[in-house]
Chains A and B, each alone.
Chain A
């Protein structure tokens, strides 16, 4: 295998990890967002459905971010160091959000006899579910718009003012909306009756908001990240951009028509198209426009060993994941329920 192929494969594995995180953990974060916005006569049922949907899987879904981190520092240590220094502040918020989300969720599930505490934990859970994707989106926007600058033989920390510009803010919002849309879409498959309609309406709202914010984002992008925008709209990224538009519109139409069978695959395809379009437009840069994946990569001997480990790990992982999702996401409303809750 040539060195370029090794780099490409390693970068692809990173993208696969990111995709899994976006789709699976993204939906979990979105669940937290809808917990925050639980409204109407069925708010308690909405929260219960969200908790049931997330309960058995969030811990595993969360491991994808760890996977992304270890791949990044195993295969692209220079990029890892650059991101950690440059994006120190927003990554701190990502971390804080992840920690509070996970622990608040687990604690809440086990404090049924303390309603007061449980309410507070619920607030912590839902707010941190909002903060985390927002901060991650902010990071993606900052990287794409070339906010990271090398100094000497290291990197400068991106000042907070630089992060709070329109474009990163919009990508942050976009990430939150993606999560919310996915969560609502998934929840239409795990509920029925009126509850399902609640989530259908939420999915429609989030989907439309997503379309608007994405359009604003593209306009801003043309200004602050022209190369990225070019690649996305005219170059390599175009097929993905078109696909995203098509899947997005299709998903909304399916929701409107209550064609629930199509809602989930279209929602997933939509998110993947956005993510891959973004990634393809970013290529070959790990840190635009200073550091390419090839320059950031570990030695070929390391990459080779890493890819072998990946293959072996995958062979073990895939059936285990299949078992988990088959057990708890069988696609019927009772799927996530514990035996003792049903009794």
Chain B
């Protein structure tokens, strides 16, 4: 593996790791607030227990998110110093605002976690809001940096290749910001909702069908089910935005080599750069033109319009994108079925197929998040800043990336294994305490 490849793999795996915990960091405060709010309203112990349990688990996942995020802040400089040298003076503002958002998140997380029984119930509940908003804000700022990499603006490159006329505000509010932010934000909330529902669906499959599990499942499923349709709308918006701003990325996502009027959507199949065709795959006529331009006969530019050295990896990007949209569409089901069952067929809610479906929804949602990011990031290659700075030109001149990659991959594996172990033990401990009569299971 070349040093550059090692660096890309390192960056990619670090981000893929961090995003799991970032997603929970954005979503957990919402479910916590819902549970605690229900407790304050109804006074029912089961909601209090849910909130307490979740906040203990959140302490662990947040810590992993914080250390993995710190790794990213360093890595972005250690691996791509010339990217930061170039971009820091243009897009540094959201990064520094993000620092403040992290402070707010961290401060109110500590208050929330350690404040049970030390603050009044109402004050404690109120401290959950800055936590939630801090997560929303940090997502906004980090996405502003990333969307700028996709649609850079707010500066001028002079003849000598130097950056002049910097306008940090214009850089921050770049054309991809709104769609990328909303799509990411709802992705995080939906994914957290499915994760919570999946945990309790699993418990119910194991025979723990008490009030506690039913309420936990209901809160998770409600969040995911209500927001999932919104998520598909933001998905459509972001696809249109990519069509306008990064047409080559769109063509790669779709595996469209030739410029085509009335372009079909090709689901899956393997794009072959040699023959410029997609092998296998399911073609749905006119759908791509319709989705991208709201007109079934519109012309969509194919990858052939750009020189081959500017192409991203079509296999990776196409398959990642199709995985996201397929699983993403399927994720509408749990909410729809749940809604129907709730109204008409309550016994479905406890049935094994439904519970298994919920258990599967959590990994499916995380896969959507990961493949969505692979689409965005690998679809931007070979550019780190789209059409401005190439990835290879932003790479560090320091050597020894490969051993570093190996060590840090080991660290990630360790973090993942220990983190899961501790969360599982935590759940087991709770059950042991209930069995020993030290804690009640909920009403």
Interface stretch, picked from A103-111, A212-220, A277-285, is A103-111
Interface stretch, picked from A41-49, A141-149, A171-179, A319-327, is A319-327
Q: How far is the CA of A106 from the CA of B423 in the complex (A)?
A: 12
Is B352 interfacial (CB-CB < 8 Å)?
no
Is B207 interfacial (CB-CB < 8 Å)?
no
Interface stretch, picked from B57-65, B195-203, B319-327, is B57-65
Question: Are A88 and B396 in contact (CB-based, < 8 A)?
Answer: yes
Q: With a CB–CB cut-off of 8 A, which chain B residues contact A92?
A: 78, 404
Q: How far is the CA of A309 from the CA of B168 in the complex (A)?
A: 11
Q: How far is the CA of A116 from the CA of B99 in the complex (A)?
A: 37
Q: Which A144-193 residues have a C-beta within 8 angstroms of B?
A: 154-155, 157
B71, B73, B169, B415: which contacts A70 (Cβ < 8 A)? B73
Is B261 interfacial (CB-CB < 8 Å)?
no
- The main secondary structure of chain A at its interface with chain B is helix
Q: With a CB–CB cut-off of 8 A, which chain B residues contact A328?
A: 110, 114
Question: Are B67 and A327 in contact (CB-based, < 8 A)?
Answer: no
**Binary CB contact string for chain A from 75 to 89 against chain B (1 if under 8 A, 0 otherwise):** 101101111110011
Is B177 interfacial (CB-CB < 8 Å)?
no
Question: Are B116 and A338 in contact (CB-based, < 8 A)?
Answer: yes
- A323 in contact with B111 given A99-B70, A298-B92 (CB within 8 Å): yes
Question: Are A73 and B74 in contact (CB-based, < 8 A)?
Answer: no
Question: Are A298 and B88 in contact (CB-based, < 8 A)?
Answer: yes
Question: Are B110 and A114 in contact (CB-based, < 8 A)?
Answer: no
* Residue in A closest to B403 when the chains form the complex, CB atoms: A92
Question: Are B422 and A110 in contact (CB-based, < 8 A)?
Answer: yes
Q: How far is the CA of A100 from the CA of B283 in the complex (A)?
A: 49
Is A317 interfacial (CB-CB < 8 Å)?
yes
A69, A103, A109: which contacts B418 (Cβ < 8 A)? A103
Interface stretch, picked from A227-235, A253-261, A265-273, A299-307, is A299-307
- A96 in contact with B93 given A67-B99, A301-B167 (CB within 8 Å): no
Q: What is the distance, in angstroms, from B256's C-beta to the closest C-beta of chain A?
A: 37
Count class of interface residues, chain B? 35 or more
* Residue in A closest to B83 when the chains form the complex, CB atoms: A81
Question: Are B63 and A88 in contact (CB-based, < 8 A)?
Answer: no
B68, B73, B74, B115: which contacts A327 (Cβ < 8 A)? B115
Q: Which A14-47 residues have a C-beta within 8 angstroms of B?
A: none
Is A91 interfacial (CB-CB < 8 Å)?
yes
Is B136 interfacial (CB-CB < 8 Å)?
no
Q: How far is the CA of A88 from the CA of B395 in the complex (A)?
A: 13
Q: List 29 A-B contacts (CB under 8 A).
A: A56-B110, A56-B113, A62-B106, A63-B106, A65-B70, A66-B102, A71-B96, A71-B99, A73-B77, A75-B92, A77-B84, A77-B92, A80-B77, A80-B88, A81-B84, A84-B81, A91-B78, A92-B78, A95-B78, A106-B63, A106-B64, A107-B63, A117-B421, A299-B166, A302-B166, A313-B96, A320-B103, A324-B110, A328-B114
**20 more A-B residue pairs beyond the given contacts A70-B73, A84-B77, A107-B422, with a C-beta to C-beta distance below 8 A:** A60-B107, A60-B110, A63-B106, A74-B93, A80-B88, A81-B82, A81-B84, A89-B400, A95-B70, A96-B407, A98-B67, A99-B68, A102-B67, A110-B422, A111-B422, A113-B425, A298-B88, A321-B103, A323-B111, A324-B110
